[in-house]
Structure 1
Amino acid sequence: MSKKLELINALCGSAPGWPLVLYFHHVHPTLKHYTSITPKDFEEGLCLLLDNFKIIEPSVIRKRCFDWNPKEPSVLITFDDGFKDTYDFALPILNKYGVKAIFFLITTNIGTKSSGLNPWKNYLSWAEINDLHSMGHTIGSHTLSHSALNKLSMEEANYEIIHSINTIKNKFSGDSIHFSYPYGLLPRCEIIFPEDTFAFGTVKAPANSWEKADTNIRRTYLPAGQNSKWKRLMEKWRTQWYG
């Protein structure tokens, strides 16, 4: 993906009055990919966000009640896939600034590791996930196998989503288990989510009110390696919040 296209994708934030939602994948010092950001850059981006937005505690988000939605520009931090490097490198930075996040997990990949040192193939263990939860972070679902849901039948898509949500709900009973779509691709059929589940998209989702589009909430990101443009992004996102 070109840097220009990345910036264009990222520029649109949230609907007026609704939280900006950012998603990250890898936080790793050496991995080179547009979905990866270094720990140093992650801290820089987080500090910029703290200067411009109120951080939302994900544990307070409830579909049946919007009292948690602040009356000022706000942001929710999320991580997709459940890579181990988010625990090793992102977590200490989150803890340093007292920021809580949602970690969306591919449930069949939990605890799997590569035969070498490839961070693409190393995923969080249940012990690490329990640790994240005990620290106040929220655990969400990202399907069973990270399949492109638009290529699956209705039965297959439902199975991927609902069984993944139930796997996490069985571990953390009482929590609202939120969901994010792999690749931002929606299934060809309507999914009946649990009543308190929000479903999050990517930059492919339009910037709509959460009340109107609670099963495809727009998320955006900080384009890796384009730190000089991040301040502009923050200004755009704040302007969009005010409408």
Structure 2
Amino acid sequence: MSAALFDPALGSAPGWPLVLYFHHVSDLVDHYTALSPDAFRRGLETVLDTVGPALDPAAVGPGFSPPDHPSVLLTFDDGYRDNLEVAAPLLAEFGVRVLLFCVTGELDAADRLSRSERAALPPRKAFLTWAEAELLAASGHVLSAHTAGHPRLTELEPREAAEEVAVSLRGIGERTGGPARTFAYPYGLIPQPPPVPPGVLAFGTVRSPPEPWARRPLHIRRTYLPVGDTERWKRLAVGWREQWFGSQ
């Protein structure tokens, strides 16, 4: 696989939204998709001002038609508590809503913990409860599926991989009252063929090439804002906008 594919400067296919992915907004997490609150605010300002407005995630699903201008879809993976406590207020400042890809088994487990048990968890183990996830949904964020247990789907038998996806999609549907229309692969690892049922758009990471969603609806590329390299963000955003017009 080409090293260029992993470069966050490679955004989306011409004419299709830029898709960014995050895990945490926290000062306490060291991860390439975890930004501090101040950095996250700066990132939002940079991307929204330079690339284009944020998409409403409720409009994203099979048959999606992109707007006729550059735009951004923001996504969060796993379903951590800081997404509610830290990220959500910052997103509200900008009027932005996100796709929240939840590991449904972790939300089930969070529901079984006491308040004191949850308070003792480090940020990377502190997941939303379903009630907290539903607070995000009530604010216009969209809950979606990210498997039941966050395995590497490429290491499972096809039947097991399909079940991981199906259980997660079903759990989201039961909680939201409607079918989950989007899914994200853990670690961006996509089995062949992808274990995603019809009627669902599936998102990868920087492991996926930038292709039109209509052509490869189960391999949608997402990229990210590099942590600790804020001086590069403006240049990245300019490049992502130019790529929408077909300039590389």
Identity of aligned residues (%): 41
Aligned to 2:71: 74
Aligned to 1:199: 202
Distance of 1:168 and 1:8 partners within structure 2: 30
Of 83, 86, 96, 2:83 maps to 86
Tell me, yes or no, if the aligned pair for 1:143 and 1:164 is still in contact at 8 Å: yes
| 1:107 lines up with 2:104 in the alignment | yes
Q: Tell me the secondary structure at the aligned position of residue 178 of structure 2.
A: coil
Tell me, yes or no, if the aligned pair for 1:178 and 1:199 is still in contact at 8 Å: yes
Aligned ranges 1:1-243 → 2 under 5 Å: 9-52=7-50, 53-66=52-65, 69-110=66-107, 111-112=109-110, 116-195=120-199, 197-243=200-246
| Alpha-carbon offset, residue 29 of structure 1 | 1.8
1:162–1:140 Cα change, 3 Å: same
Tell me, yes or no, if the aligned pair for 2:145 and 2:172 is still in contact at 8 Å: yes
Distance of 2:76 and 2:103 partners within structure 1: 11
What letter matches 2:75 in structure 1? T
| Alpha-carbon offset, residue 172 of structure 1 | 1.2
| Alpha-carbon offset, residue 115 of structure 1 | 7.4
| Alpha-carbon offset, residue 49 of structure 1 | 1.4
Tell me, yes or no, if the aligned pair for 1:149 and 1:188 is still in contact at 8 Å: no
Tell me, yes or no, if the aligned pair for 1:139 and 1:177 is still in contact at 8 Å: no
Q: Tell me the secondary structure at the aligned position of residue 32 of structure 2.
A: coil
Distance of 1:8 and 1:210 partners within structure 2: 19
1:193–1:31 Cα change, 3 Å: same
| Alpha-carbon offset, residue 47 of structure 1 | 0.7
Q: Tell me the secondary structure at the aligned position of residue 49 of structure 2.
A: helix
Aligned to 2:113: none
Q: Identify the range of structure 1 (208-217 vs 111-120) with the bigger mean alpha-carbon deviation.
A: 111-120
| Alpha-carbon offset, residue 6 of structure 1 | 10
Tell me, yes or no, if the aligned pair for 1:169 and 1:177 is still in contact at 8 Å: no
Distance of 1:144 and 1:25 partners within structure 2: 17
| Alpha-carbon offset, residue 16 of structure 1 | 0.1
- For 1:84-111, what per-residue CA distance to the aligned partner results, in whole angstroms no more than 9, with x for missing partners? 1111110000111110000000000015
Q: Identify the range of structure 1 (148-157 vs 112-121) with the bigger mean alpha-carbon deviation.
A: 112-121
1:34–1:114 Cα change, 3 Å: farther
Distance of 2:97 and 2:119 partners within structure 1: 31
Q: Identify the range of structure 1 (205-214 vs 173-182) with the bigger mean alpha-carbon deviation.
A: 173-182
Distance of 2:42 and 2:122 partners within structure 1: 25
1:203–1:210 Cα change, 3 Å: same
TM-score, normalising length: structure 1 = 0.92
Q: Identify the range of structure 1 (148-157 vs 45-54) with the bigger mean alpha-carbon deviation.
A: 45-54
Q: Tell me the secondary structure at the aligned position of residue 240 of structure 2.
A: helix
Distance of 1:23 and 1:55 partners within structure 2: 13
| Alpha-carbon offset, residue 11 of structure 1 | 0.6
Residue segments in structure 1 that go unaligned for 5+ positions in a row = none
Distance of 1:143 and 1:23 partners within structure 2: 16
Q: Tell me the secondary structure at the aligned position of residue 8 of structure 2.
A: helix
Alignment RMSD: 1.8
Q: Tell me the secondary structure at the aligned position of residue 212 of structure 2.
A: coil
TM-score, normalising length: structure 2 = 0.90
Tell me, yes or no, if the aligned pair for 2:101 and 2:144 is still in contact at 8 Å: yes
